[in-house]
Copies of this chain bind each other. A is one copy, B any other.
Amino acid sequence: MTLEILAMNRFDPARAAAVDAETKALLDRRARTFGPASVLFYERPVHMVSAEGVFMQAADGTRYLDVYNNVPSVGHCHPKVVEAMARQAAVLNIHTRYLYDNVHTYAERLLAKLPESLAHLMLTCTGTESNDLALRLATNWTGGEGFVVTETAYHGNSAAVTAISPSSMPGRTLPAHVRAIPAPDAYRRPTNDLSADFAADLDRAIHELKTSGAGFAGFVADSIFSSDGIYADPPGFMQDAIEVVHRHGGLFIADEVQPGFGRTGDGFWGFERHGVVPDIVTMGKPMGNGYPMGGVAVRADVLQSFCDAVGYFNTFGGSPVAAAAGLAVLDAIEDEGLMENAKEVGTYLMGRLRDLARLRPSIGDVRGAGLFVGLEFVSEPEARTPDAALARRAINGLRDRGILIGAAGPFGNTLKIRPPLPFSRENADFFVDALDDFLASEPA
């Protein structure tokens, strides 16, 4: 998460003086309880008290438009999700070694949204647990130990998943069983055939792993490449790469923690945009709209081989409460047309941002799919020089204009526009106008 940290600030006691007394007291308590692990957004951290839909309310009375958070994907504190969770928690909350029905209703509905070859669902509590399990499934199936990821990927926080998260090890050599390939970045690496280039990089990395003796277990990729800087186009550019993965006997693990659950607007899953079929799909963040849940959809043969060899038990994963929350999230996405909204408002938003980019040369690129949009700041448009300082100023400047947002990418110069899915055209207008206003306030 180093990229995000570029746009954040480690807690600095000096900063506390700038905030009011209540917030200062809270910062002190935070420093005492969390210690150096206290990483906060913003130069002046925001003290939150409530949230609803696409808005968050701070203690000082400011209402913020949330253009950042994808966990509350169907909207902060969605009443139906809260109710489903509360009602189930009052009745039964146990683990999966007893029989109960709603977890299977949930699994059936989720599996129906996935390619048929992904026959089974395993339930976990976080994106990290899902990816950690996926690595175990892939090494068990292939006998290989090696994984390929993209250069600024983040897949989670466990020991095994940190090892495949180059963004958690900036400037350090990756472990011997991991190779990182450049993100599919057509803006900085213009190409005539992104799909072929991306596949060629992957092929080279796999050869290296095989030569090194690590073998090849799989390719792990977030199909929206969120921490790499958000790359969605052209649709289909992952196809050649996935063919390479399979040709080498490895598994394609699609990390849908970011693009999944309707965000990209093209389909329920990000990988659908590319017409590829993963061997394992991992899920997290938006799955329970804040209730801690994750999942792994997997091929029957891959799972059978894992269960024959090891097995898996997750205490909280797949509890009736998780299932109830998950079902309410699916209902909300379907009943409220949130995937369609992501597509429509996302297209509108990108259009407006591209219009703005024509007027503001510091906006080098606008790209994305649905409600996952990247906006890259550059200091020299021709040279496309990344301008992380401007991104940092924009994040804080937008905050002063009632908008919460963050940055991504290897240079931290790309605004990560990723609001809750009920984001409206009006919200998009408010955001673009604020961005315009911020840019107008910058010295030319």
Using known A-B contacts A97-B40, A98-B41, A120-B35, determine if residue A157 contacts B313 with beta carbons closer than 8 Å. Answer: yes
Question: How many Å lie between the Cα of A82 and that of B86 in the bound state?
Answer: 7
Asked if A93 and B290 sit within 8 Å, CB to CB, the answer is yes
- CB neighbours (8 Å) of A285 from chain B are 315
A45 nearest CB neighbor, chain B only? B99
Cβ-neighbour of A92 out of B37, B48, B94, B97 (below 8 A): B48
User: Does A122 lie within 8 Å of B71, measured CB to CB?
Assistant: no
A304 on the B face (CB < 8 A): yes
Chain B binder among A132-140, A197-205, A329-337, A359-367? A132-140
Residues on B with C-beta less than 8 A from A47 are 98-101
B72→A93 contact, CB < 8 A? yes
In chain B, what residue has the closest Cβ to A404?
Answer: B98
B residues within 8 A CB of A5? 311
Q: Does A369 interact with chain B (Cβ within 8 Å)?
A: no
Cβ–Cβ contact B33 & A108, under 8 A:
yes
Closest B residue, CB atoms, query A33:
B107
- Chain-B contact segment, one of A23-31, A238-246, A265-273: A23-31
Count of A residues near B, CB < 8 Å?
Answer: 97
Interface presence of A300 (CB below 8 A) = yes
Say whether B160 contacts A126, CB under 8 Å: no
Verify if A402 is at the interface (C-beta below 8 Å from B).
no
**Chain A positions 120 through 151: 1 when the CB is less than 8 Å from some CB of chain B, otherwise 0:** 11100111110011011000000000000000
- Does A223 make an interface contact (CB < 8 A)? no
Q: Which of A49-57, A187-195, A343-351, A390-398 contacts B (4 or more CB under 8 A)?
A: A49-57
Distance (whole angstroms) from the CB of A342 to the closest CB of chain B: 20
Quick check: is A76 within 8 A (CB to CB) of the other chain? yes
Q: How far in angstroms is the closest Cβ of chain B from A156? A: 9
Contact with B along A86-98 (1 / 0, CB 8 A): 1001111111111
Question: In the bound complex, how far is the Cα of B316 from the Cα of A91, in angstroms?
Answer: 23
Are the CB atoms of A311 and B77 closer together than 8 Å? Answer: no
For window 291-339 of A, CB contacts with B under 8 Å fall at: 291-293, 300, 303-304, 306-308, 310-316, 319, 321-322
With a CB–CB cut-off of 8 A, which chain B residues contact A82? 86, 89-90
Which B residues lie within 8 Å of A108 (CB)?
A: 29, 32-33
> Does A214 sit within 8 A of B, measured CB to CB?
no
Instruction: Report the bound CA distance from A294 to B170 in whole Å.
Output: 28
For residue A12, give the distance in angstroms from its CB to the closest CB of chain B: 14
- The answer on a CB contact under 8 Å between A35 and B104 is no
| Binary interface encoding of chain A residues 48-76 relative to chain B, with 1 for a CB under 8 A from any of its CBs, else 0 | 11110000100000000000010110001
Name 25 A/B residue pairs within 8 A (Cβ), A-sorted: A1-B311, A2-B311, A27-B99, A29-B104, A30-B99, A33-B104, A33-B107, A34-B121, A35-B120, A35-B300, A36-B120, A37-B306, A40-B97, A40-B99, A48-B94, A51-B91, A51-B93, A71-B316, A76-B93, A77-B89, A86-B86, A86-B89, A129-B158, A169-B310, A290-B321
| A-B contacts besides A46-B99, A48-B99, 16 pairs, CB < 8 Å | A1-B311, A1-B313, A35-B119, A35-B303, A37-B312, A48-B100, A69-B94, A71-B95, A71-B316, A72-B93, A72-B94, A76-B93, A125-B125, A158-B160, A168-B310, A292-B292
Residues of A within 8 A of B (CB): 1-2, 5, 8, 23, 26-27, 29-30, 32-41, 45-51, 56, 69, 71-72, 76-77, 79, 81-82, 85-86, 89-101, 103-104, 107-108, 111, 119-122, 125-129, 132-133, 135-136, 157-160, 162, 168-169, 284-285, 290-293, 300, 303-304, 306-308, 310-316, 319, 321-322
Task: List the 7 closest A-B pairs by CB distance, nearest first.
Answer: A86-B86, A33-B107, A35-B120, A159-B160, A292-B316, A93-B290, A36-B307
